[in-house]
Amino acid sequence: MKQKHQNPNTNPTTSSGVTTDMRVIVPLQGLVQGGGSGLVLGSIIPCALFYFFQLYFKSKNPTTPPPSPSSQQPPDITPPPAGGLERVQSIRSIWSPRGTNGQAQVSSRASLVIKQPDSPYYVGLEKALVDPYHGLRNPDGIIQLGLDENKLSLDLVEDWIMTHTKCSTICQELQVNGITNYHPYDGISDLKMAVAGFMSQVTEGRVLFDPSNIILTSGVSPAIEMLVFCLSDIGNAFLVPSPYSPDLDRDIKWRAGVEIIPVPCRSSDNFTLSTTSLNRAYNQAKKRGLKVQGVIISNPSNPVGNSLTRETLYDLLDFATEKNLHVIANEALAGPTNDKNLEFVSLAEIINSQDSEEYDRKRVHIIYGLSKDVSLPGFEVGAVYSFNQTVLNASKKLLRFSSVSSLSQRLLVSMFNDSRFVGDFIKINRERVERMSDLFVGGLKNLGINCMKTSHGTYCWADMSAFIRPYSEKGELELWEKLLNVVKVNATPGSCCHCIEPGWFRFCFTGLTESEIPVVLERIGKVL
């Protein structure tokens, strides 16, 4: 793996003001008190400048009349970004149309966000946040199964941080990096290298990731949003296999103003993505006059949990090539699994492999996150891996809006460099997740609820269609509401994930402890 040493000085896109030589640790005692020398210098500057300017401008021009303050010119309006104005009409279709009055109101984009509370996904999340279950302190609270977060191995991270970070580390970080300058917005090279190494581990060494093709953002959502901004204009569209994660509606539509065209997948073929349905969705988009810029997949799929097969990935790339589209692969949930039947194949592997000359690398962009696999919620780090130099360059500039704190980056670098810890962590975390998965999914089975066979992610996709009446979205939402308000369990209904078959629910179980599983199962059993 080639190590591209990122010297901040030679990178023209950074504004870092310090060379590696200048990273001198300023000794406290060495501070100049500022008195005498300052005054002397304070009078030399003016003389020198005076001399310089008189000489320079005498040579240029005998007399220069003092410029008068310019009279009030008509203000020139900084021209809008290309294509800004003519797009105004098309964006109205994405955000709710606004009345002509009330200018101190918020924008159409904001209105979309304010309407969000109507969605069951967010209603459930908010309620569970306000009244969270706790075995001792709040046993009647809401058990949160709607938040895709892995808390099973927090103790390992906690222990590591407590033993490895001391004041001196932080001080050194501040001296050397935190204070003296802004960092390259796209992440420090040490962390990029560590992330590249980690991503290689996830693919079990089959792919070597080049750190110079990586940019780091403050999470997976900003990564997705940023790519969408780079790859499409307002009013364009992306094809997204459904069911998909409810967060995607936010990430793509809210600020970027891009449409999602769902590509429905069905349980009859295990929610597999097919070229037929891709083509159908693409044609539908065309009929509506929407320009499709790409396809966004998640692999493993969220919420279904299955990994895309090699064949599916090849079909997808064929489709993308034929229609000249981008492919964004959200592989943030990827992780090694013990089950050989559910092998995870990264899109990077396909692109890198021998027969990939037919696929243009510049259309593939992979997202990876650290909050799921390495169970580091709170660190807020997402990574984008792309072969497209223009996208990388634009992204680096866009990252000023969502960059990772230097403190977190340094902590993560130290953590990743402790390869023994990382190896142990992955192994133990995987075991714990698989155990929870077996317990939870097994428990649901005993209740008569079957789940999709998954690659042991942090959630399961459960078929509760037998328990909804009527067999429709209405019936599904009634069950969701009973779960939330009657037995106090927050799960994500399939309609929030745009699943065309009613009755499916996503349960995230890695926020639970083992002892809480029987409690949850008992509660769920009550509403069936």
* C-alpha span between 395 and 399 (Å, rounded): 6
- Residue at token pair 């075991």: 431
Closest to another protein by CB, 250 vs 488, is: 250
In contact, 511 and 149? CB cutoff 8 Å: yes
State the minimum distance, in angstroms, from the CB of residue 47 to another protein.
Answer: 6
- Residue at token pair 């992440």: 187
In contact, 294 and 320? CB cutoff 8 Å: yes
Q: Does 329 bind another protein (CB under 8 A)?
A: no
Kindly give the pairing relationship between strand 504-508 and strand 489-490: unpaired
State the minimum distance, in angstroms, from the CB of residue 494 to another protein.
Answer: 23
Task: Determine which residue in the list 242, 293, 312, 386 makes contact with another protein, applying CB under 8 A.
Answer: 293
Phi/psi of residue 84, nearest 5 degrees? -65, -55
Q: Does 513 bind another protein (CB under 8 A)?
A: no
CA distances from 431 to 149, 152, 445 (A): 16, 10, 21
Partners of 50 in beta bridges: none
Closest to another protein by CB, 77 vs 341, is: 77
With CB under 8 A as the contact rule, which of the stretches 53-61, 341-349, 428-436, 437-445 interacts with another protein?
53-61
Task: Determine which residue in the list 317, 325, 350, 508 makes contact with another protein, applying CB under 8 A.
Answer: 325
Closest to another protein by CB, 253 vs 443, is: 253
Bond preceding residue 211 cis, omega within 30 of 0: no
Q: Does 267 bind another protein (CB under 8 A)?
A: no
Beta-carbon contacts of 136 under 8 Å, excluding residues fewer than 6 positions away, are none
The count of chain residues that interact with another protein, using the rule CB under 8 A, is 149
Q: Does 303 bind another protein (CB under 8 A)?
A: no
In contact, 321 and 297? CB cutoff 8 Å: no
Task: Determine which residue in the list 270, 283, 324, 513 makes contact with another protein, applying CB under 8 A.
Answer: 324
**Site map for another protein, 130-169, x if CB under 8 A?**
-------------------x----x--xx--xx--xxx--
Residues of span 11-30 touching another protein by CB under 8 A? 11-19, 21-22, 26, 28, 30
With CB under 8 A as the contact rule, which of the stretches 195-203, 338-346, 383-391, 466-474 interacts with another protein?
383-391
Closest to another protein by CB, 69 vs 289, is: 69
* C-alpha span between 136 and 237 (Å, rounded): 48
Residues of span 100-119 touching another protein by CB under 8 A? 102-104, 106-110, 113-114, 116
Tokens read off for 93? 């279709």
Helix (H, G, I), strand (E, B) or coil at 527: coil
State the minimum distance, in angstroms, from the CB of residue 3 to another protein.
Answer: 21
* C-alpha span between 327 and 278 (Å, rounded): 13
Closest to another protein by CB, 111 vs 200, is: 111
CA distances from 119 to 258, 374, 448, 465 (A): 19, 30, 28, 20
Residues of span 338-377 touching another protein by CB under 8 A? 360, 362-363, 371, 376-377
How is 262-280 classified by DSSP, letter by letter?
EEE--GGGTT---HHHHHH
State the minimum distance, in angstroms, from the CB of residue 414 to another protein.
Answer: 12
Q: Does 180 bind another protein (CB under 8 A)?
A: yes
Residues of span 203-262 touching another protein by CB under 8 A? 218-219, 221-222, 225, 229-234, 236, 250-251, 254-257
Closest to another protein by CB, 1 vs 110, is: 110
State the minimum distance, in angstroms, from the CB of residue 152 to another protein.
Answer: 12
Bond preceding residue 303 cis, omega within 30 of 0: yes
With CB under 8 A as the contact rule, which of the stretches 200-208, 296-304, 387-395, 512-520 interacts with another protein?
387-395
Determine whether 438 is exposed, middle or buried from the number of CB atoms within 10 Å of its CB (0-12, 13-18, 19+): exposed
Task: Determine which residue in the list 72, 268, 341, 515 makes contact with another protein, applying CB under 8 A.
Answer: 72
Task: Determine which residue in the list 2, 45, 99, 340 makes contact with another protein, applying CB under 8 A.
Answer: 45
* C-alpha span between 349 and 5 (Å, rounded): 24
State the minimum distance, in angstroms, from the CB of residue 176 to another protein.
Answer: 10
Bond preceding residue 67 cis, omega within 30 of 0: no
Task: Determine which residue in the list 156, 208, 342, 394 makes contact with another protein, applying CB under 8 A.
Answer: 394
Q: Does 471 bind another protein (CB under 8 A)?
A: no
- The amino acid at residue 321 is T
Sequence length of the chain is 528
Tokens read off for 156? 């390992």
Closest to another protein by CB, 400 vs 526, is: 400
* C-alpha span between 23 and 16 (Å, rounded): 12
State the minimum distance, in angstroms, from the CB of residue 82 to another protein.
Answer: 5
Residues of span 402-461 touching another protein by CB under 8 A? 402-408, 411
